Amino acid sequence: MSQKIPLLYSFRRCPYAMRARLGLQSSQQLCELREIVLRDKPSEMLQASPKGTVPVLILSNGDVLEESLDIMLWALKQNDPESWLAPEIGTLDEMLDLINRCETEFKGHLDRYKYAPRFEEGTDPITHRSLAENFLRELDKLLTKNTFLFGERRSLADMAIAPFIRQFANVDRAWFDETDYPHLKLWLYEFLDSTRFKSILKKYPVWATGDPITYFPEKPVA
């Protein structure tokens, strides 16, 4: 028998999983949440998605979505009450292009800044921090024109990118707080202080086979 609602495997601190939860929350798409720890991935998740990364969303028809942006787009195409897919300024394609650049240009430098020892010998985290700043400068420039990246209200781009800017800022928060990105910092701090973000960052017990169902989202937030 197929499940009645989608099933989400997630890890609280992963920025990819954060963006998936943000999309599901905005769309008010109820799902069964299974919080995992990456060092002990449940066999049920690996059976559905052998690559072993989060998030993983198993739809009620058995289809599996393994990419966080795909999960956001799927959820918002079911229901988009905040019009995240229809930005006030620009187009969906322009938002997807900016998100793609975050995932490629920016994220590569972010990883080498945050996790330099995991990469090739001689990887200099400060060099990669400086290179990552090219993207920060671009975002800050966009935010001089509007409160959010594509207008005066939140859009897919804001919510898909913010978890990665948070990750970058947290590598050395004292340094980041002193940087000259006033508009970007206001945008990020508003996101971090929002009921929305605090809600999706709520701690849930790690799931184990046989546990009662945990539902997500619990309720819509502003």
Number of domains in the chain: 2
Give per-residue pLDDT as tens, 47-74.
999 999 999 999 999 999 999 999 999 9
Q: Given a cut of 70, is residue 2 above it in pLDDT?
A: no
**Parallel, antiparallel, or unpaired for β 31-35 and 7-10?**
parallel
The reply to whether 51 and 140 lie within a common domain is no
**What CATH number did the domain enclosing 163 receive?**
1.20.1050.10
202 forms beta bridges with none
Query: Which amino acid is it at 218?
Result: E
Domain extent for 137: 92-194
The reply to whether 73 and 103 lie within a common domain is no
What is the Cα–Cα distance from 134 to 218, expressed in whole angstroms? 38
Asked, for residue 173, whether it belongs to a domain, the answer is yes
Give per-residue pLDDT as tens, 112-162.
999 998 998 889 999 999 999 999 999 999 999 999 999 999 999 999 999
Residue 55, φ and ψ in degrees, nearest 5: -85, 160
Side-chain-facing half-sphere of 7: CA atoms under 13 Å: 17
pTM: 0.94
The reply to whether 38 and 128 lie within a common domain is no
Peptide bond just before 217 cis, omega within 30 deg: yes
